């Protein structure tokens, strides 16, 4: 029982990270029907920007005097950096192909992914980069169960970001414009919504969330490396498909499910099969419900 609760906590933490990355896939798909395979690279870039700033602050000694400020600043800077990176990628690699067949943009996305990942390797080196380790070590102990401070931080921050995103999409004018663009670009243009700006904004928000996930992964696991975006990218993509691609709530749910299934598969059956379980669930859902778990009202709530 104790291990069960511990595994549940592990699953929520991992699932939260997948959910944050999955949102970027699902939002971009909602608006321009493109699977942005470069999305995992925004996550990796976020992790790197985070380690660069956190090490910088630690070097200056601010980390000990103003930890909250340093952490907030690092998150903000990394999220902004990745947002601009994503807007740039969209302008260079996807916008010129928007009128072409969908396959062209998809291939372009794959190319961007390889380009960014190798760019990270060449500029940052092939070795792991360690996060400053003094941050949030330790945790709460209840008998055999340990909840790390970082796990609490990840779950809280993920929750807060998800709530903020939901408010943005469903309660503001900008969110309404995004939903309108997702439904019909021509029609929304007629009521004076600049679809190019909205598409840029969608990329920026998705990449910002991925960057936040990147820093959290760096803090939680202690290091980042240039190829860290690939596997979580694939898993988060599966999560988005599982939840119903284009659906924000679905992406969150999909992320949590994939995280849980992985942890419980590894914990109760065998560690080597954890990816297999995650993808069996995916195949099963797609077989019986091809639109994904939450994919039904795809027309009015998708972004």
Partner 1 sequence: MSKKNFSIMVMAIITTLFIISASSAESLKIGSMSPLTGPYASDGTDIKNGVLTAIEVFEKQEGGIPGYDKIELFPQDDVCDPRNAVAAANKLINLKVVGVIGAYCSSCTIPASETLDEAKIVMITPASTNEQVTDRGLPYMFRMCGRDDDQAPAAAKFMKESLNAKTIFIIDDKTTYSQGLADGVSKNSKALGMNVVTHDHVNQGDKDFSAVLTKVKAANPDILYMSLQGYSPAALMSIQAKRMGIKAQIVTQDATFQPKFMEVAKDAAEGVYLTYGFTDPTTPEYKAFQQIYEPKYGKIAAYATYAYDSTIALLRAIKAAGSTEPDKIKAELMKLDFNGASKHVKFKENGDSGSSYIAFKVQNGQFVPYWDPAKGLIK
Contact (CB, 8 A) for 281 and 46: no
Among 107, 144, 160, 164, binds partner 1 (CB under 8 A): 144
Nearer to partner 1, 199 or 281 (CB): 281
Which helix (H) or strand (E) segment holds residue 44: the answer is helix 39-60
Among 271, 287, 288, 300, binds partner 1 (CB under 8 A): 271
In angstroms, rounded to a whole number, what is the distance separating the alpha carbons of residues 270 and 259? 15
184: left (phi over 0), alpha (psi -120 to 50) or beta: beta
Among 61, 101, 103, 141, binds partner 1 (CB under 8 A): 141
Residue 113 makes contact with partner 1 by CB under 8 A: no
- The CA-atom distances, in angstroms, between 47 and each of 42, 129, 151, 173, 290 are 9, 10, 17, 31, 33
CB of 147 to partner 1, least distance (A): 10
Residue 126 makes contact with partner 1 by CB under 8 A: yes
For residue 261, give both structure tokens.
Answer: 């299934």
Nearer to partner 1, 113 or 202 (CB): 113
Among 52, 264, 286, 291, binds partner 1 (CB under 8 A): 264
Residue 55 makes contact with partner 1 by CB under 8 A: no
Residue 10 makes contact with partner 1 by CB under 8 A: yes
Nearer to partner 1, 21 or 83 (CB): 21
* Phi, psi (degrees; rounded to nearest 5) at 143: 60, -125
- Judged by CB under 8 A, the chain residues 68 through 87 that form the site for partner 1 are none
Nearer to partner 1, 208 or 265 (CB): 265
Contact (CB, 8 A) for 11 and 264: yes
Nearer to partner 1, 36 or 117 (CB): 117
Q: What angle do CA 236, 242, 247 make, to 5 degrees?
A: 85
Nearer to partner 1, 47 or 244 (CB): 47
Which helix (H) or strand (E) segment holds residue 2: the answer is helix 2-32
In angstroms, rounded to a whole number, what is the distance separating the alpha carbons of residues 206 and 228? 18
In angstroms, rounded to a whole number, what is the distance separating the alpha carbons of residues 2 and 143? 8
In angstroms, rounded to a whole number, what is the distance separating the alpha carbons of residues 275 and 262? 6
Nearer to partner 1, 104 or 147 (CB): 147
> Which residues contribute to the site for partner 1 (CB under 8 A)?
2-3, 6-7, 10, 13-14, 118, 121, 126-128, 130, 133, 137-139, 141, 144, 146, 148, 150, 217, 221-223, 225, 227-228, 230-232, 262-267, 270-272, 274-275
């Amino acid at each position: 029982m104790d291990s069960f609760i511990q595994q549940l906590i592990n699953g929520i933490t991992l699932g939260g990270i997948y959910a944050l990355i999955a949102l970027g896939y699902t939002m971009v798909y909602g608006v321009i029907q493109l699977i942005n395979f470069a999305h995992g690279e925004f996550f990796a870039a976020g992790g790197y920007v985070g380690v660069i700033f956190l090490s910088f602050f630690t070097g200056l000694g601010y980390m000990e005097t103003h930890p909250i400020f340093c952490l907030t600043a690092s998150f903000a800077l990394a999220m902004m950096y990745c947002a601009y990176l994503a807007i740039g990628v969209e302008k260079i690699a996807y916008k010129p192909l928007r009128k072409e067949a969908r396959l062209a943009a998809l291939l372009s996305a794959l190319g961007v992914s390889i380009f960014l990942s190798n760019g990270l390797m060449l500029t940052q080196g092939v070795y792991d980069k360690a996060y400053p380790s003094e941050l949030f070590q330790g945790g709460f102990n209840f008998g055999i169960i340990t909840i790390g401070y970082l796990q609490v931080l990840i779950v809280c921050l993920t929750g807060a970001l998800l709530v903020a995103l939901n408010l943005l999409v469903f309660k503001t004018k900008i969110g309404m414009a995004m939903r309108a663009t997702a439904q019909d670009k021509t029609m929304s243009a007629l009521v004076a919504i600049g679809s190019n700006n909205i598409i840029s904004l969608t990329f920026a928000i998705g990449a910002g969330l991925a960057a936040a996930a990147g820093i959290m992964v760096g803090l939680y696991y202690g290091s980042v490396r240039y190829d860290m975006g690939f596997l979580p990218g694939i898993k988060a993509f599966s999560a988005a498909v599982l939840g119903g691609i284009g659906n924000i709530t679905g992406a969150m749910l999909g992320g949590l499910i994939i995280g849980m299934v992985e942890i419980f598969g590894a914990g109760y059956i065998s560690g080597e099969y954890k990816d297999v379980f995650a993808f069996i669930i995916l195949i099963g859902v797609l077989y019986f419900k091809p639109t994904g778990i939450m994919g039904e009202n795809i027309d009015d709530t998708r972004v």
